[in-house]
Amino acid sequence: MAACGSAGARAAQIPVRVVVVTTFEIGKDTGDVPGEFQTWVEKLPLKQELPAPGTWHGVMRYNPDLQVLGIATGEGPEHMASAITALVLDPRFDLRRTYFVLAGIAGIDPNFSSIGGAAWAPRVINGGLSHAIDAREIPSDWPDGYTPVQGSTPTDRPVPPLHSLSGDMEYTLNPALVGWAYNLTRSLALPDTPALKAIRARYVGYPQAQKPPAVLLGDTLSSETFWVGERMNRWAERWVGYWTEGKGTFATTAEEEIGLMQALTLQAQAGRVDPQRVLVLRTGSNFDMPPPGESAAELLKSEASEGGYSGYLPSVAAAYQVGSVVVRELALHWDRYADHVPGAPPARAG
């Protein structure tokens, strides 16, 4: 009898092919100035409301035809980790074959690309865990004041373990899946506007920043500190290079990826999710450093809130435009992707 009851509970579960992970919504889920969540709700669409107990937003959205679930976790790694853990442990869902697609806005390195552009992340690097020395006390032969929390100089060798008692410093996402998502979207023409062109033109001497928005591959740095400025950007580029031993390229800076990956990795150890089915997409809402002739403080003052970011609305639109191509492909061809992660070679028979 117990076995029948268990089977009945499984049959009653809500099927989820893809979870769209966003981090914030400004007001309502529809009909006002959009945050990351609203565009998905209105355009995918995600019309059905589901309670999301134990999460910041309190409500998830669902498309029963596509079997896609959307969540707004709240900003910061703590909100992200707690919301994803609550979701994975929710008995309404079996997420063992589900794909997770984080689609959000971010600061972008003008040495990498321009605002309004999109980057699929091959890697997530922790930019919040370190030793830090006040700028007035940095030794003269150091590039900046940040060292590994397991070390005492910025360039300690060998590079400490990426995962240890101290914390998690880097996650490499499934390269085949990331490459597949990139190839599926790399030719998309992203919106460009006179306002974006005017902002790009100010970044004289930064040829990548002056290009139109495009879909690229680049790593994301996850830090709860909203840093800004040329020197901090230089640190971010070095930090990504250090922890990836020269393999990574710093592209975008945001908060939540470390919380996402920590939560999913731990739940994967219990067999509840597949860590090979995770994608991170970030779109540039603002440059992380000012143009020549402007101070970091001036840039911070002009972009102190999400709505104040110079490329805010185009980046929100781009996150949906690029991310929805991948989400729809996975959902509409579930017979192809349920048991076989795209980009990976097919399993050998026998």
Domain boundaries, the chain: 18-338
Residue 350 has pLDDT above 60, yes or no: no
* Secondary structure of residue 21 in the 3-state scheme: strand
pLDDT averaged over the chain?
93
Buried b (16+ CB within 10 A) or exposed e, 115-145: bbbbbbbbbbbbbebbeeeeeeeeeeeeebb
**Cα–Cα distance between 295 and 292 in angstroms, integer?**
8
pLDDT at 12: 74
Q: 327: which DSSP letter? A: H
Residue 336 CA: distances (Å) to CA of 257, 325, 330: 28, 16, 8
Q: Compute the average pLDDT of residues 170-183.
A: 98
- Residue 278 has a pLDDT of 98
| Distance (Å, whole) CA 102 – CA 61 | 15
Residue at 128: amino acid letter: G
Please report the pLDDT score of residue 346 as a whole number. 57
Residue 174 pLDDT greater than 50, yes or no: yes
Cis peptide, bond prior to residue 148, ω within 30 of zero: no
Chain centroid to CA 106 = 8
C-alpha 310/C-alpha 283 separation (Å) is 12
| Nearest in space to 119 (alpha carbons), one of 256, 218, 223 | 218
For 18-338, CATH gives 3.40.50.1580
Provide the pLDDT for residue 307: 61
What span, in angstroms and rounded, lies between the C-alpha atoms of 227 and 123?
20
Residue 106: half-sphere exposure toward Cβ, Cα within 13 Å:
34
Assign 4 a pLDDT band (cuts: 50, 70, 90). Answer: very low
Q: Which two tokens stand for residue 179?
A: 């490459």
Q: How confident is the model at residue 2 (pLDDT cuts 50, 70, 90)?
A: very low
pLDDT of residue 306: 62
Task: State the CB neighbour count (10 A cutoff) for residue 175.
Answer: 13
DSSP 8-state symbol, 308: G
Tell me how far apart the alpha carbons of residues 41 and 63 are, in angstroms, rounded to a whole number.
Answer: 9
Q: How crowded is residue 26: how many other Cβ atoms within 10 Å of its Cβ?
A: 14
Say how far apart CA 256 and CA 246 lie, in whole Å.
23
Residue 66 has pLDDT above 50, yes or no: yes
Using one digit for the tens of pLDDT, what is the confidence trace for 34-51?
A: 999 999 999 999 999 999
Which residues lie closer than 8 Å to 320 by C-beta, 6 or more apart? 39, 40, 43, 103
- Residue 8 confidence (pLDDT): 43
HEC string of 94-160 equals CCCCCEEEEEEEEEECCCCCCCCCEEECCEEEECCCCEECCHHHCCCCCCCCEECCCCCCCCCCCCC
pLDDT, tens digit (0-9, with 9 covering 90-100), for 235-285: 999 999 999 999 999 999 999 999 999 999 999 999 999 999 999 999 999
- Please give the structure tokens belonging to residue 83: 């919301």
Position 303 confidence tier, pLDDT thresholds 50, 70, 90 = confident
Q: pLDDT (tens digit, 9 = 90+) per residue, 312-343?
A: 999 999 999 999 999 999 999 999 999 999 99
Nearest to 108 by CA among 244, 40, 199: 199
Q: What is the pLDDT of residue 135?
A: 93
Average pLDDT over residues 289-301: 93
pLDDT, tens only, 99-115: 999 999 999 999 999 99
Question: In the structure, what pLDDT confidence band is assigned to residue 54 with cuts at 50, 70 and 90?
Answer: confident
Please check the confidence at residue 349 and state whether its pLDDT lies above 50: no
Whole-angstrom distance, CA of residue 276 vs CA of residue 290: 37
